[in-house]
Amino acid sequence: MTEATRKPRMLEKRIQSQYGDLPGSERALADLILEFPGDLLVYSATELSERGGVSKAAVTRFVKRLGYQDYREMQREVREAQEAGEPVYLNTGLLGPAPDSNRLQQHLERDIANLRQTFEAVSPDDLGEVVRRCLTARRVWVLGFRNSYFFAAYIRRQLIQVRSDVTLVPAAGQTLMEELAGATPDDLMIAVGLRRRTPALGRAMKIVRDLGVPIAFFTDRVAVTTPKFATWTFPCQVRGMSLFDSYVAVISLANYLCTEVVAAAGEGGRERLSRIEDLFAMMEEIDPSN
| CATH number, domain with residue 156 | 3.40.50.10490
**Domain final residue, candidates 34, 67, 90:** 90
Give tens-digit pLDDT for 174-204. Answer: 788 888 888 999 999 999 999 888 999 999 9
**Is residue 18 assigned to a domain?**
yes
Helix then strand then coil, in percent of the chain rounded to 5, is: 60, 10, 35
Mean pLDDT, the chain, integer: 87
For residues 31 and 155, state if they share a domain: no
**Domain final residue, candidates 71, 90, 109:** 90
- 3 pLDDT exceeds 50? no
Cα 39 to Cα 27, 68, 113, 215, 216: the distances in Å are 17, 18, 22, 37, 35
Domain count within the chain: 2
**Is residue 238 assigned to a domain?**
no
Give tens-digit pLDDT for 206-254. Answer: 999 999 999 999 999 878 788 999 999 999 989 887 678 899 999 999 9
**Is residue 150 assigned to a domain?**
yes
CB 3 within 8 A of CB 84: yes
Q: Provide long-range contacts, Cβ within 8 A and 24+ apart, for 27-34.
A: 28/52, 28/53, 28/54, 29/54, 29/58, 29/59, 29/62, 30/62
* Prediction pTM value: 0.71
- 108 pLDDT exceeds 70? yes
For residues 151 and 208, state if they share a domain: yes
CA distance 91 to 89: 5
Question: Which residues constitute the domain of residue 208?
Answer: 126-233+253-283
